[in-house]
Amino acid sequence: MTRSEIREQAFILVFEKIFNPELTVEQMKDISRECELFELDSFAEKLINTVTDNTEKIDETISSCLRGWKIGRLPKVDLAILRLAVAEIMYFDDIPDKVSVNEAVELAKKYSEEKSPSFINGVLGSVVRGKNA
């Protein structure tokens, strides 16, 4: 399984968690296994745990990079993609920032609205610039 496919797994479960915040990572793993969706990869599990454990800080970072938007108004798909990418940028030093940004844009092309890829690219560009400042 490629890293892109693994990120897609993580995205699906991060998106699910937005609607069911009480779900634990273990419960999400069980559901995906029982529904025969996929067996959660260890990298995907690490990503999901990072998002879950740091959602408040990740959302603060996203909010600080939004221009004319409030995080609560974002489409939930975009929020899930941004949370995943910001988690990678902030907490996974072994992954180049440009890879995280590109993967997020690709997820947006597949799952979100027409304007979302450029919006996500812009927000994540601000996150990366802020990190490197």
44 pLDDT more than 90: no
Share of the chain above pLDDT 90, in %: 70
Share of the chain above pLDDT 70, in %: 96
37 pLDDT more than 70: no
Arithmetic mean of pLDDT over the chain: 92
Check: CB of residue 10 under 8 Å from CB of residue 48: yes
Check: CB of residue 102 under 8 Å from CB of residue 110: no
For the ranges 29-33, 112-116, 128-132, the lowest mean pLDDT is seen at 29-33
Neighbours of 115 (CB within 10 A): 10
Stretch 97-105: mean pLDDT, rounded?
Answer: 98
What pLDDT is stored for residue 40 in this prediction?
Answer: 72
Q: Give the count of alpha carbons within 13 A of 46, CB side only.
A: 8
- The residue whose two tokens read 């890829």 is 117
What pLDDT is stored for residue 36 in this prediction?
Answer: 62
What pLDDT is stored for residue 95 in this prediction?
Answer: 96
Residues 3-132: name the CATH superfamily: NusB-like (1.10.940.10)
